[in-house]
Chain A
Amino acid sequence: MTWLKLVEGYMPGQMIGELALSILLFALLNWSLKRAGMGIPKFWAGIGVWVFIWLYITYRIYPPIPFSVRAIYGTVTMCGIFMWVSGSEADWQEFKKPIFNVMDGITPRHRFLRTVALILIPLGIGGFAYQSYLPSFDEPIELRTVHPAPPATTKLHGKTFVLQIAENPFRVGSEGKYDQEYTNERSVVQAMGRLVKDVNDPNYNPWDPNAEGYMKYVREGGEVFFQNCHFCHGDNLNGRGLWAYAFNPIPANFTDAGTIAQLQETFVFWRVAKGGPGLPGEAFPWASVMPPWEQHLTTDEIWKVVMFEYWHTGYYPRTWD
């Protein structure tokens, strides 16, 4: 059922768009049916809309949303539907009518429905209560801080780095200054599927044999990445590596606007150097399989791999402001 699969990153926009379109189509249909004199009763229309939205958020979105979150969406939807059906006194009366008709048992059919409802409701609620007592094998929800506050300083291979003022020594401009504009100018094209700007120019292609300085360091960082990091973070740096399926928490997705794009370069440097064990408690250091790369890489290699991650995703680090 690949048609169910929503592309990650597109999700919020696509979901809101599709829902808005469905509501619009429904409103149009409802209006034209009314004009044709075959309007859908408010009661059934309300139930129909709610069921549609519930099925949408349950089955259309992948990975699935937990029940607790769907319950919130369902409640909000219900409030919206009540606002719609109680827009005017006449609407509200129309909505209530089928319910009261059944409760009062005005015709034999309504009396039959009333009997059925009177039996089913206590059975249903009793059954639901019984279900909730059955042993559950659901995973407990444990909320984890993905980007905890970094320490003021971090010590690496005998040298202390003050994260506020530390700079990536390889991100320097032609004048030897730490230069955001310079490196940004030489970044990849910003679009979905970010690509080398000009493959035949050593200033833009890290694999050009004549590449020097920034571009050469990007390639060296990439070599480190593809010898060590891609197993989890993936060939496209999107957290879908070869072994991502085995681990929990899942590896970070660097192409997401919520990870390295909103972090300072020194934060990423600290996270790479200290890995899982270096995390504070709220970020679950016990469960992270992220290696403390200080055990495997030199300081320079860590700076280079951080720079490569920004180059490959087309983001640039947040600066102190």
Chain B
Amino acid sequence: MNIPTRTNKSLRTGLGLAVGLSLLLWGGLPLTGLAQEDEDIPEGFKAEDRPAPPSAEQIEAGKRVYFTKCVWCHGVKGSGDGPAADRLWPRPRNFNQGTFKIRHTVSGELPLLEEDLLQTVTHGLPGSAMPSWEGILTEEQRRDVLSFVTTQLVEDRDWQDEEFETFTVLQLDQLTPIEPTAESIKRGSELVVSLKCIECHGLEGRGDGNAFNLKDDWGFSIQPADWHKCWNFRGTRQDAYNVKNIFRTFSTGINGTPMPSFADNTTIEQRWDIANYVGSLCERTMDIDIAGGEVTDEIAQTLAQGEPFPIDPLTDKPKSSFVVPSIPVRELGESLELPVDEYDERWAQVPRRWIGMGGQITHKPRNFVNRIDDLWVRSVYNDTHIAFLFQWNDRTKSVQEDEVDWDPTEVNLADYGVEETLPGGSQFADDPGHPGSIAWNQNKYAVYNDGVAFEFPIKWQELPAPRKPRYFWGDESFPMEITKWTADGTLAVYEGTGWDQDFTELDDFAEEVEVKKAQWKNGRWTVLVHRPLKGDYEEVASLEPGQYIPMVFFAWDGHNGDVGRKMAVSAFYYLVLKPAMPVEAFIYPILMGVGIVFVEGWIVIRRANRRKGKIFT
């Protein structure tokens, strides 16, 4: 278990019989003691042997895997310019420079083959298009393809280069994590300020600080990680809430990006504190307000107690169901008024539903680079109104400045002036100085409005199950009522009859719908909408308790050039207004219980009589 380091090798060989004992002692010593002996090696790291070179057969076998599975994104020469590359965000890795993000080795070094690259191929990189290849490629095939990539496609560096390449490895398995207590979380929250993490990751860690000015080694725009979505962390190894992965990233940095290693200017304890804090921010069952990062003892306590979300192992996203419950306010307290902001304490009792969002690529203009991958919804209702609280993370607040020359009701506008990025521009992709290259074009969109919308079939009561209107703004037989809020402060209600049919404004009803709160703060939009339960039956949807009412969600990120049909969409959900308990719920169980008691009495008496010989037939 212990590999001798250069420094105390001679010492130990001279000690003869005591070797066994010293090994035992040494294994128990904290690694801090070791690191001080070699000043070049940061705390918690150890120099290791270079990986063995692969055989020619392995490389050849790996090439077959590469040209079947990998070439489509990573390209023929491994330059990250396969056919898929230009429509992906994050982009596929360019192998040529030997720059890899997720590693156990110190900043700037090549990754290990087994502990790093093989794990990446096995578990994929959540939050990107790189899937888990476990179960698709055998372990042998995964090793083969790494042999090919590391020897043939990495051009600038060589794992076998004794002159330049060293392997200084984080001894993660031998470090004992610090428990994520409130104290540790609070210390972490102070460290991310003093170490300036928040300058990029934002005050509350949603990746909203300096969000649109960062570039990677190749000139492509990249964004800081959103700490609230740990399931999207590239290095999670499909174990989203495990803080060890955050500790590793923080200790080794992310090569090729502005994320540095903090191994030299933090102690191991400090790094665990930060990992615990960052890990505690990942969304849990309850929404926790962290007050702009000013974490008090009370907040730290709440963070420490949060229950992680169950993660679906097939998608690496939170598990969810396609039902949005709405809770009657009378179950939440005395007041029958609906909450007017997100701070109302009653929200804590309302389950929040995670809504997965994908890019709209069914009709033009298509949204291949989708930046809003989820939103959270909570809902309550009273006798007259229903409230929807939408919260979603968006690194930038986008409000349209320039006038557009179309009316909000105009739908069928071909591409809304949004040019679809043509694939195949990778030739100069990574040259930010080359006009027309992907890097040059990035973030040169016109800025439109952020926005959120939801829709119901207007006459959902008349839908013959399981028929629904088309998710994309309804169809002629069953129009949709679409309520859309945009960041310029507009709230409108439209009737939609199809993806290519202009909207009809429902002005009378729109006046009754109220936006009680709409705020962008620390990388998150909060939009609270109050809507009457009922309206004109012919014009708008009338919401009734206890019924399954089809509902679809849409979201726009203005800095991504989202406008009109270029947006994020959800699947069909069902809104269910939790009904009052029917009287039958109390009567029938009691009747059944009493009936069973009678039957029991009859059986027991009958058996007793039979034993006594008194048999009735």
Are A123 and B358 neighbours in the complex by a CB distance under 8 Å? no
The residue among A139, A238, A240, A245 with the most chain B CB atoms within 10 A of its own CB is: A245
Within 8 A of A (CB), among B29-82: 60, 63-65, 67-69, 71-73, 76, 82
Q: Nearest chain B CB to A232's CB is how many angstroms away?
A: 8
Are A222 and B467 neighbours in the complex by a CB distance under 8 Å? no
Q: Nearest chain B CB to A281's CB is how many angstroms away?
A: 7
Partner of B67, one of A135, A142, A193, A205: A205
CA distance A78 to B38 in the complex (A): 68
Partner of B470, one of A2, A285, A296: A285
Query: Is B368 located at the chain interface by the 8 A CB criterion?
Result: yes
- Closest B residue to A117 by CB, please name it: B600
Are A235 and B596 neighbours in the complex by a CB distance under 8 Å? no
Note all chain B residues with C-beta closer than 8 A to A122.
592-594, 596-597, 600
Query: Is A67 located at the chain interface by the 8 A CB criterion?
Result: no
Are A227 and B471 neighbours in the complex by a CB distance under 8 Å? no
- Closest A residue to B498 by CB, please name it: A277
Query: Is A246 located at the chain interface by the 8 A CB criterion?
Result: yes
The residue among B466, B470, B572, B607 with the most chain A CB atoms within 10 A of its own CB is: B466
Note all chain B residues with C-beta closer than 8 A to A285.
470
Q: Nearest chain B CB to A197's CB is how many angstroms away?
A: 8
- Closest B residue to A227 by CB, please name it: B423
Are A240 and B589 neighbours in the complex by a CB distance under 8 Å? no
Query: Is A121 located at the chain interface by the 8 A CB criterion?
Result: yes
CA distance A68 to B252 in the complex (A): 49
Note all chain A residues with C-beta closer than 8 A to B67.
196, 199, 205-207
Partner of A281, one of B323, B467, B471: B467
Q: Nearest chain A CB to B270's CB is how many angstroms away?
A: 31
- Closest A residue to B422 by CB, please name it: A227
Main secondary structure of the interface of A (DSSP, over half): loop
Known: A139-B321, A247-B571, A287-B571. A129 touches B136 (CB 8 A): no
Q: Residues 97-133 of chain B: 1 if any A CB is under 8 Å from the residue's CB, otherwise 0? A: 0000000000000000000000000000000111101
Q: Nearest chain B CB to A309's CB is how many angstroms away?
A: 13
Within 8 A of B (CB), among A193-210: 193-196, 198-199, 205-207
Note all chain A residues with C-beta closer than 8 A to B76.
207
Q: Nearest chain B CB to A63's CB is how many angstroms away?
A: 7
- Closest A residue to B577 by CB, please name it: A135
Known: A126-B592, A228-B361, A245-B312. A287 touches B572 (CB 8 A): yes
Are B589 and A137 neighbours in the complex by a CB distance under 8 Å? no
Partner of B137, one of A130, A193, A312: A193
Known: A122-B600, A126-B589, A139-B574. A289 touches B65 (CB 8 A): no
CA distance A222 to B69 in the complex (A): 11
CA distance A240 to B359 in the complex (A): 15
Known: A222-B83, A226-B72. A104 touches B607 (CB 8 A): yes
CA distance A188 to B366 in the complex (A): 33
Query: Is A259 located at the chain interface by the 8 A CB criterion?
Result: no
Are B361 and A276 neighbours in the complex by a CB distance under 8 Å? no
Are A247 and B574 neighbours in the complex by a CB distance under 8 Å? no
CA distance A139 to B548 in the complex (A): 9
Within 8 A of A (CB), among B302-339: 312-315, 317, 321-323, 325
Note all chain B residues with C-beta closer than 8 A to A168.
none
Query: Is A74 located at the chain interface by the 8 A CB criterion?
Result: no
Note all chain A residues with C-beta closer than 8 A to B570.
246
CA distance A37 to B14 in the complex (A): 62
Note all chain B residues with C-beta closer than 8 A to A289.
358, 362, 471, 569, 571
Within 8 A of B (CB), among A202-249: 205-207, 222-223, 225-228, 230-232, 234-236, 238, 240-248
**Chain A interfacial residues counted at CB < 8 A:** 76
Note all chain B residues with C-beta closer than 8 A to A139.
321-323, 574
Query: Is A66 located at the chain interface by the 8 A CB criterion?
Result: no
Binds A, one of B208-216, B254-262, B392-400, B579-587: B579-587
CA distance A188 to B68 in the complex (A): 9
Q: Nearest chain A CB to B589's CB is how many angstroms away?
A: 4
Q: Nearest chain A CB to B314's CB is how many angstroms away?
A: 7
Are A242 and B129 neighbours in the complex by a CB distance under 8 Å? yes
Note all chain B residues with C-beta closer than 8 A to A275.
362
Q: Nearest chain A CB to B453's CB is how many angstroms away?
A: 16
Provide a sorted-by-A list of 20 A–B residue pairs whose CB atoms are within 8 angstroms: A7-B135, A100-B607, A122-B600, A125-B592, A130-B589, A134-B585, A137-B578, A227-B423, A232-B358, A235-B72, A242-B128, A243-B370, A244-B315, A246-B356, A246-B373, A277-B470, A286-B471, A287-B468, A287-B471, A289-B362
Q: List B residues at the A interface (Cβ < 8 Å).
A: 60, 63-65, 67-69, 71-73, 76, 82-84, 86-87, 128-131, 133, 135-138, 141, 238, 312-315, 317, 321-323, 325, 356-359, 361-364, 366, 368, 370, 373, 423, 465-471, 475, 546, 548, 569-572, 574, 576, 578-579, 581-582, 584-586, 588-590, 592-594, 596-597, 600, 603-604, 607-608, 611
Lowest 6 A-B CB distances belong to which pairs?
A243-B358, A133-B585, A126-B593, A226-B84, A246-B358, A246-B356
Q: List A residues at the B interface (Cβ < 8 Å).
A: 2, 5, 7-8, 62-63, 100, 103-104, 114, 118, 121-123, 125-127, 129-130, 133-135, 137-140, 142, 144, 188, 192-196, 198-199, 205-207, 222-223, 225-228, 230-232, 234-236, 238, 240-248, 275-277, 281, 284-287, 289-292, 295-296, 312
